[in-house]
Amino acid sequence: MRLEAKGLVLGGRLAGVDCTLESGAITAICGPNGAGKSSLLEALAGLLSLDGGTVELDGESIATLPPRERAMRLGYLPQEHEIAWDVPVRRLVELGRMPHGDRLAGPVDEALDALDITGLADRRAQSLSGGETVRVLLARVLAGKPRWILADEPLAALDIAHQLELLRHLRAEADRGTGVILVLHDLAHAMNHADRVIVLHEGRIAADGPPQEALSPERVAQCWRVAVKWIGEAGARALVAA
């Protein structure tokens, strides 16, 4: 399966972005504040009206896919992690089944378990902490069993144990053939857990490739304007000031 961006242009946000994303892998989108990461993710999810370019899902324009079909194939977690409805957590996660027209218990239970929120199932959604809220919203995405998971900063509000657990779960999803695309500010998570990193800078792709190439100290210096070096072993690298 393939998700393809062709010449995406959007105001001052995207200035001609081309990339082809393959399923069965974790792709991280990185870049400094305002680089266009959320805009690109939203465009890939088919949720933006573009000034130019197209997004195609397996050769079909995403703009013309019926919303229900799009929602079944593509699960999207926006950057604003807010819950508008004060319903019980389980009910909220069940909403992920809406495109399928069911409330199947299996995928809902699996999603609650994957995000370690089974114990919160009866809590009112608006009574949750920031990290719990993100986990509930992600569970809603997972409950829909989409073929693509697009998540904007899913790790930012999570403690280290839940970050690593979520990354393990997303790896398992990718191994099952799901396409996983994550906007990440934490470059070490991108280095250690992504198969591919797209670095955006001023609305353009500055690098696209394996993490160790796309996030080389030279590239980080060019795009983020900081001098850094990587320390540690492959799979457990940390980024420190040079």
Ligand X SMILES: Nc1ncnc2c1ncn2[C@@H]1O[C@H](COP(=O)(O)OP(=O)(O)OP(=O)(O)O)[C@@H](O)[C@H]1O
Query: What residues have CB less than 8 Å from 73, skipping those under 6 apart?
Result: 57, 65, 146, 147, 148
CA–CA dist 83, 137 (Å, integer): 8
Nearer to ligand X, 114 or 137 (CB): 137
Q: Which of 21, 24, 58 lies closest to 205, judged by CA?
A: 21
Nearer to ligand X, 12 or 232 (CB): 12
* Residue 43 C-beta: closest distance to ligand X, Å: 9
Nearer to ligand X, 13 or 135 (CB): 13
- Helices (runs of H) and strands (runs of E) counted in the chain: 9, 12
* Residue 77 C-beta: closest distance to ligand X, Å: 13
Residues at the contact surface with ligand X, assessed by CB under 6 A:
11-13, 31, 33-39
Helix segments in the chain, DSSP class H: 37-44, 67-73, 89-94, 105-114, 130-143, 160-175, 187-193, 211-214, 217-224
* Residue 33 C-beta: closest distance to ligand X, Å: 4
Nearer to ligand X, 12 or 67 (CB): 12
Nearer to ligand X, 31 or 154 (CB): 31
* Residue 30 C-beta: closest distance to ligand X, Å: 9
CA–CA dist 240, 66 (Å, integer): 46
* Residue 213 C-beta: closest distance to ligand X, Å: 21
Asked if residues 108 and 97 have their Cβ atoms less than 8 Å apart, the reply is yes
* 232, containing H or E segment: none
Asked if residues 207 and 219 have their Cβ atoms less than 8 Å apart, the reply is yes
Asked if residues 121 and 112 have their Cβ atoms less than 8 Å apart, the reply is yes
Q: What does the block give as tokens for 21?
A: 């994303």
* Residue 197 C-beta: closest distance to ligand X, Å: 14
Nearer to ligand X, 35 or 111 (CB): 35
